[in-house]
């Protein structure tokens, strides 16, 4: 994940309950952001924890499109970083907001996301 302090002008104020136990938030890899992409408001929550970089992207009345998600990937992650979206089994699915999609990337240099052959992508 990029150093997110370069996005400070897009940061949204977050409630106290979202701060860590000490009331301090690592602004380099965490935060809430608001963007307007082709007239559509997108809200993004970014975080780093438990070995993962993660962003959640939401719209008010529909799920984000492929192009909107791609734009957010390029804003939050380096070009050479591979991120993924997952479709987990129903028993593991948690839906806190019906119009939110997520991207994850393992932080570890030794854990890589496996990729299919290039001709299948």
Distance of alpha carbon 83 from alpha carbon 73, whole angstroms: 8
- Residues in a beta bridge with 42: 35
| Full-model pTM | 0.85
Please give the CATH topology (third level) of the domain spanning 4-120. Streptococcus thermophilus LMG 18311 protein like (3.40.1720)
Q: What is the pLDDT of residue 104?
A: 95
Q: Please, which residues have CB within 8 angstroms of residue 99's CB and are 6 or more apart in sequence?
A: 58, 59, 60, 61, 62, 63, 64
Is the confidence at residue 19, as pLDDT, over 70? no
Least trusted range by pLDDT, from 10-14, 22-26, 107-111 = 22-26
Q: What is the pLDDT of residue 53?
A: 95
pLDDT digits (tens, 9 = 90+) for 36-61: 998 999 999 999 999 999 999 999 99
Residue 72: φ, ψ to 5°: -65, -35
The residue ranges of every structural domain in the chain are 4-120
The two three-digit tokens of residue 20, written as one number: 């860590």
């Amino acid at each position: 994940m990029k150093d997110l302090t370069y996005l400070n002008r897009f940061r949204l104020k977050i409630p106290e309950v979202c701060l860590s136990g000490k009331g301090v938030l690592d602004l380099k890899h965490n935060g809430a952001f608001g963007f307007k992409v082709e007239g559509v408001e997108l809200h993004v929550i970014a975080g780093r924890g438990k070995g993962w970089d993660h962003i959640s992207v939401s719209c008010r009345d529909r799920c984000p499109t492929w192009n909107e998600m791609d734009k957010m990937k390029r804003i939050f992650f380096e070009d050479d970083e591979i991120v993924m979206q997952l479709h987990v089994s129903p028993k593991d699915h948690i839906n806190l907001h019906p119009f939110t999609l997520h991207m994850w990337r393992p932080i570890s240099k030794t854990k890589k996301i496996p990729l299919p052959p290039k001709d299948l992508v």
